[in-house]
Amino acid sequence: MTPSELSELAKECGLPAYAGKQMARWMYVRKVRSIDDMTDISKAGRETLKERYELGVNAYMGFAESSDGTRKYLFPVSEPSSGAVEAVMIPDRDRRTLCVSSQSGCKMGCHFCMTGRQGFHGNLSVSDILSQFIAIDEAELLTNTVFMGMGEPLDNYSQVLRVIEVLTAPWGFAWSPKRITLSTIGVLPQLRSYLDECKCHLAVSLHNPFPEERLSVMPAQKAWPIENVVELLRQYDFSGQRRVSFEYTMFAGFNDDKRHADALAMLLRGLECRVNLIRFHRIPDFPYDCPSPAVMEAFCDRLNRQGITTTIRASRGEDIFAACGMLAGKHAEKK
């Protein structure tokens, strides 16, 4: 809830309207876990609040820690039939990035993604998503977030948009939009709404520049062709603080040769963007493997020579099934 909504709630509970701002501060700035912790609200007021409401913060059920310091947390969700979801905390020098989930499972069905292959179980609520920020051990150390966990964020757009409001509002976490990146397969027209309503960064899952080949591993290509997504992005300015990047997972013998590099450069030419090459992490029953480091470096160099800023993303947390495409909502075990 926003402070104005909390003020209305306060009045309904016989509290002064300014108690709404107090509650917002306790929830979003101090990140309390209990209404009892809101000590500048009268004890009688807190008892009334507890009778009618709950904070909605879900404690994590367990975690696993990688040899590289990455931590994967397992969370319950408010709808029991939706199972559980995972959030990944990635440390990198003075940064702590949270890879957050927005759905349990996913409708997009990408063949190379463990989340997509398990099907769709339900949208996460705002409290389900915010719990991933508040309940982890590193909550006070987080510097950035990426909506790159389980699910397609734009398929749960209204809830994700409210979460971003809490993250960026002065009364909330007060984060700069530059600290937030949303990843999408390119869901239209929600993508246009996101670009119009948010100043956060965008990452587009591309993975193959040829429509037919992309469709063979990404069924959503049929509904939202990547060429249409790029055409929409060309209508927006990414030369300032907001950035757009393209995620390109590499599969040996499928999308890693000169033909693909040249087609990718042609598709993105003239668009202010970056390409992140991602090493594929092997999953069962998928025919491709990751190309060699030499092949990935040659692909990267070829794109850079054609004016497309390209980097190879470091892989994190593979040993605990926390790397890209490996989240399935069942691997975290407390250690």
Q: What are the catalytic residues?
A: 86, 324
Paired tokens of 21:
């701002």
What is the secondary structure of 74-141 as a DSSP string? EEE-SSGGG-EEEEEEEEETTEEEEE---EEE-SS--TT-HHHHT-EEEEPPHHHHHHHHHSSTTGGG
| CA 101/CA 118 separation, integer angstroms | 15
Cβ contact 104:150 at 8 Å? yes
Paired tokens of 258:
């000169």
In sequence order, which residues have a C-beta less than 8 Å from that of residue 257 and are 6 or more positions away? none
| CA 8/CA 238 separation, integer angstroms | 39
Cβ contact 151:104 at 8 Å? yes
Paired tokens of 11:
């009045």
The count of residues in the chain is 335
Three-class DSSP category at 145: strand
| CA 132/CA 100 separation, integer angstroms | 7
Phi/psi of residue 234, each to 5°? -65, -15
